[in-house]
Structure formats: C-alpha cells, structure tokens
Amino acid sequence: MASIIGGIGTSHVPTIGLAYDRKRQDDPAWAPLFDGYKPVAKWLEEQQPDVLLFFYNDHANSFFFDCYPTFAIGVSPEFDMADEGAGRRPLPGILGHAKLAAHVTDCLVNDEFDMAVFQDRALDHGCNSPLGLMWPHEPAWPGAILPIAINVLQYPLPTAKRCYKLGQAVRRAVESFPEDLKVVVVGTGGLSHQIHGERTGFNDTDWDEEFLRLFVEQPDTLAAMTHAELVRRGGAESVEIIMWLAMRGALSDEIRCVHQNHYLATTTNMAVAVYEQMEESGPAAAPVKERANEQLAGIEEIDGTYAFDVAHSVKALNLNRFFWRHREPAFRDLVTRDIDAAFEELRLSEEERALVRRQDWLGLVRYGVSFFVLEKFARVQKMSNLQVYAHMRGETLEEFLQTRRVPASA
C-alpha cells in the first residue's frame, strides 16, 4: 500500500528557478537560499520517495481566468514545463503517476472534494522552481509528480480550513492505494510578500517565524484564519500559504521539523522546511481500496454500459481530442481532405486509427471515447445520432426507430 513518508514546505518564487538556471548557486547574494535546499535534497535522497505530491498554484500559465479551477488534480503519465513568457525552462519533462492520481481523484470526489481534472497541461513555477533544487534531474527526474493545483489568484479562494481538510482527504486517499509507494507531500508558496499595489515589498519575518511555529504546533489556529487576516499579517500574495496547510493536513497530527530555512532576498521571504511525522502513515489509517469510486460499485453488471472515467480519459486523450477538434472548421476540412494528416497531428495509435477508419462507434466507446465528442465526428460523416445509436445496438436505423415511441422524430 502507499504511504506518506513526510512533508516539505517551500517557496516557489520564479526567481529561484531563474537564479538556478543562471548557475548563481554560489553567488553570495543567492547562496543562503540555495544552501537551505541542500538538506532537503539530501533528505529526499535518503527517503527515496516514488512520488512527490505537490500542492501548488498555477500563475495564469496553464489555466486562465475564463475557466479557473478552485482545486484541480493532474492525472497524466507525464507533464511538461510551462513557457511563462521567457521560453521554456531547461528542465526535462517529468513523469506523472496517472494510476495513483486517478485513484486519489476517485477518493477525493467520493470524499466530497469535487476536483477538476487536468491532463497534459504544463507545470509552471509553482511546481518547477523549487523542484529543480530538491531533486536531481539529469538526465531524468528520479520519481513522479502528482500535482494538485489550488486557486490562490482569483477570489473567492478556498478557505485555509478547506485546504487543510483537502490535505486530510488526500492522506486517506493515498493510504488506500493498493500498490507500495512512498509519497512525500509538498506544499508551496510564500512566505510573507506582496507584489502589487502601493504595499508592494511588504514583508514581516516575525510573522513568518510565528507561522512556521504554528504550522507545527497549532495548525488549527492557522486554518481558522481568514484570507484578509493572512493578507494583513503576511502581505497580499502570502495568502498562498494556504497550500502549506493542505500539506499539513496530509501529515500526521504530530510532526517534527527536521530542517528549516528562510531567506529574504528581494520581495519574498523564501522558506523551505522538511517535516517528519510522529505517527507514520500506515495500513491502520485507511483500508486499502481496490475500487476507489464507490459510486460505481456494481456498474459492471449493467450490460451494454461503459462508464467514461478518468482512467479511460487518460488512455484515450488523443483520440477524444481528435473528435473534440471537429468543432474547428479548419480541422474538419483537414479530416475530410487528409484524415491521415489529422491522425498524425493527434499522434493516434494504429489501433485508434483503425477504430476511426471503420467508424466502429461501439468499439470507440468501449475503448474510452466520450459520446459527446464522438457525435461531432458523426456530424462530419453525415450521420445522425439516431444512426449512431442504431449502429451501437447492432440494428438498422429502421429497427431502432421501431423501438421508439415517436419514430418519425428522426
């Protein structure tokens, strides 16, 4: 079974990544920051986690305000690094752990945390700025990442208490995963800083020290603070420390800090800390679940029915995207003119191409295609939904219509 073996709290300011990419680790101005990460890297090397579960926020790089999720979990076999306007950082892409992430998603939603799910969206500095300092990554990262994005940009934000409870739910979810995995939970952000308005440049390192103490000893006190109180104490953008509270919730009630450093170089008091648990994560905590989505218990017994779930969505992402893109006139033209070029653009496998070529509607659904993208393809192929329904039932259109009360409605 999977277990949580510790936690890391870390700032994620982009300047950390920039200074790292410019190899300024020994620059006297930056050395106190980088030195603070060396014990973290050593701890991770000793612990050898399989997965780093990151509570982070996206800074309008992979998500935009037209649809900005409060909580979103990344379920994907791999993640790229985002281009935030100055080019992609020279870091390798990182493996995801789609199976664990799908399990955690099922558990969280059944635990009434209704997560948005993202797949191949790139990770921005919320993840990658501290990641490079903590984990060796040439030629590849030593493990996988499970990213959980929390909205800390656009009010209303989730409350500190809600983030704390999310962490507790994540712990229950991880501990119920049947495979042996070692998971370290990372909470990113802050500490004190403000980077907008006349109060730009605000810091309060006394508050930061108090926060770090309360974080270990009295997380409930922090979880009860409002966003305005957090902003008053630490500056507007320090409200992102609610992501540390998500990490805190995923740890045992009693923890010990085994390393802590903070350094105020420019505008953010950049902290990093490592926490070990007084009670280890273990099988007594949560029963192992072979089926994490309890809502689907018994679904297999319902003939001719295929639940479109996250696991199928991950498997068939490119294929679903092929059909979804039929909303675009240019792509519809391409499919009509040169379907192989369209297949190539979406990197479809031979099996997927064959299913499309055969217009095997039932086969496509069984494979993991959502009907609601499939019907867009049907429009381009001049098929009505009724014809597709009949095909899936192995009937002619006429036979299918005879089973309807208003057959002429076709």
Which active-site residues does the annotation give?
A: 125, 193
Question: What SS3 state is found at 149?
Answer: strand
Those residues whose C-beta lies under 8 Å from the C-beta of residue 164, and which sit 6 or more positions away, are 219, 222, 223, 245, 246, 248, 249
Question: What SS3 state is found at 53?
Answer: strand
Element (H, E) at 116: strand 116-118
Q: Would residue 394 be called left, alpha or beta, if left means φ above 0 and alpha means ψ between -120 and 50 degrees? A: left
Take residue 117 and report the two structure tokens written for it.
Answer: 């799910």
Distance CA 331, CA 377 (A): 11
Question: What SS3 state is found at 55?
Answer: strand
In the sheet with 269-277, reading across from the earlier edge strand, the strands are 116-118, 71-74, 144-150, 51-56, 181-188, 2-10, 269-277, 255-264
* CA dihedral sign, ordered 358, 362, 365, 371: positive
Smallest CA-to-CA distance from 162 within 54, 245, 218, 74 is with 245
Those residues whose C-beta lies under 8 Å from the C-beta of residue 131, and which sit 6 or more positions away, are 52, 54, 91, 94, 137, 141, 145
Those residues whose C-beta lies under 8 Å from the C-beta of residue 157, and which sit 6 or more positions away, are 70, 150, 151, 227, 239, 242
Residue with the two structure tokens 């992102």: 240
Distance CA 126, CA 405 (A): 55
Cα distances (angstroms) measured from residue 110 to each of 97, 167, 173: 20, 15, 10
Those residues whose C-beta lies under 8 Å from the C-beta of residue 349, and which sit 6 or more positions away, are none
For the chain, the residue count is 410
What letter would DSSP give residue 380?
Answer: H
Residue type, 399: E
The Cα angle at residue 239 between residues 117 and 216, in degrees rounded to 5: 95
